[in-house]
Amino acid sequence: MMNNLFLIVLLCTFISCKKEALESEVILKKEIVKPRVQPEGKPTNIDSVVVISLHNKVLKDFYISTNYRTVWQSEKKRKIILAELLKSDEEGLNPEDYNLKTLYDFEKRATTLDSLDIAEYDILLTSCLQKYISHLTNGRLNPRKLYKNWDLKENYIDLNATVALLLQTDSLAYTIEQLKPNHIVYKRLKKALRQINAFPKDDFKPIKFTKIITPNDTNPSLIAIKKRLIYWKELQPKDSLSLVYDEETANALKKFQSRHGLAADAKIGAGTIASLNFSRNQRTQQILVNLERWRWYPKQMGKEYIIINIPDYKLTLVNNNDTLRTHRVIVGRAKRKTPVLSSKLTQVVFNPTWTVPPTILREDVIPAILKSRSYLTQSNIKVYDSNGRIVSPYEWQLSQAKTYRYVQSPGTFNSLGMVKIIFPNRFSVYLHDTNHRDYFDKIDRSLSSGCVRVDNPLELTEYILNDEVNWNLGEITETLQNERTKFVNIRKEIAFHLLYWTAWSENNKLIFRDDIYNLDAALYDKLRN
């Protein structure tokens, strides 16, 4: 048991992506000696030319470390690896990516293979295992090549050291399990995949939306709607279905709406019809792409962290795996998407000023000024030229408009509200209050220009600052009332993750959210190709 624990601790060092470890990892990469693999049993020699001809540096380095000898003499370990590759579909991966047919054919003939086949089998098994480990820890695709506004560091793993570790362990299956993402959302996605695979095939035709249907209405579409609700197990099966929107159907529909992030009002509108029209196959694809995303995300979120799910419009604060707070949020609209990133909280700004960013300046502020110069005064925006001189609204010139700096003064009218929470990132986004708090009551909260607006931000700020004497809610309120900008450093170590996922499972129920940035279908196509 102690041996297994030691191996797991070692394994964690290979897959850790904590920011504070990155510099030391760079040093280790320079100093580390490739693992000297001591194969068990009687190894077979491998022709180095065969390995070199595969043009796979990682694979070549591995067999250099074995002195070009086979390593998988143990039938037990080979079969454990084959079983892991076979059930890779449980992780949302494709078993066909790992040459299973060829591998199993080799295994069936293992006792009769000649030395050349033994070598070929060994090389192929190592190569497929390395690929599987890479897929588990970093996904099949690279988000840094797919999205300009995703800033996720690669989860560092030394494939050869990890394979060497797997060769040494006496608990191979358990050790491979530790390579998989261990976050609760990933586990819930795996459960969602099992759940959706248990549903029968569907042959539903799209329901057309013509008008909103409310309880007690009679409508020809209700037959199809009830069949969908029965299929998704929201409504009990019936011998016959009527065209009347009865109370039982209304209650079932509210459960369906709640699972899909819709207003649970029993009104059957365009959004509800759109969710009902998703097929089982489409929902399966949605789960698969979200499993892939979670293999991109940090393996270690931090002891205490804030995580925001952009499509769910929700901020969650977690400490030691316990959820301590949740807040509704407003995120960027489709044209000004909120980026995906990981960082850490560093500073709170009370009574912040707001310097208008280039996109909002170009698309919103300049057009508003052209309509009326009074816009600047009404919005409490001061304009500064390159010398720091204030430019009055009537001196403002369109030809110089993009050279000016536009700063909104602090106050309740400020676009950032009363508080801003900073985390370092290359997109210049942050958490902040808002002067439109009524927006939090909306179901679709994809409304901002990229930053994240937080409901009840003062309570969150009090928790983050963690200073009952100097920064309790009373002191914060007093600071805000003087309307002077004040910067306060955050002393607690709180990681921050802005992420994107549209499916999971909760309380044995499938949960889905609108793909507000239209990323799911495109990602599935890339995974399939």
Catalytic residues: 432, 451
Give me the long-range contacts of 380-383 (CB less than 8 A, separation at least 24). 380/408, 380/409, 380/411, 380/413, 380/414, 381/356, 381/406, 381/407, 381/408, 381/409, 382/406, 382/407, 382/408, 382/409
| Host H or E run for residue 175 | helix 172-177
For the chain, the straight-line distance linking the first and the last C-alpha, in angstroms and rounded, comes to 42
Instruction: Report angle CA 201, 132, 342 to the nearest 5 degrees.
Output: 90
Is there a contact between 191 and 197 (Cβ–Cβ < 8 Å)? Answer: no
448: left (phi over 0), alpha (psi -120 to 50) or beta: beta
| Calpha distance 345→306 (Å, rounded) | 9
DSSP 141: S
Tokens of 208: 């057309």
Is there a contact between 448 and 338 (Cβ–Cβ < 8 Å)? Answer: yes
| Calpha distance 14→178 (Å, rounded) | 11
Cβ contacts of residue 399 below 8 Å, gap of 6+?
Answer: none
Q: Identity (one letter) of the amino acid at 265? A: D
Tokens of 516: 């507000």
Continuous H helices in 55-114: 57-65, 75-86, 100-108
Q: Identity (one letter) of the amino acid at 510? A: L
Is there a contact between 464 and 350 (Cβ–Cβ < 8 Å)? Answer: no
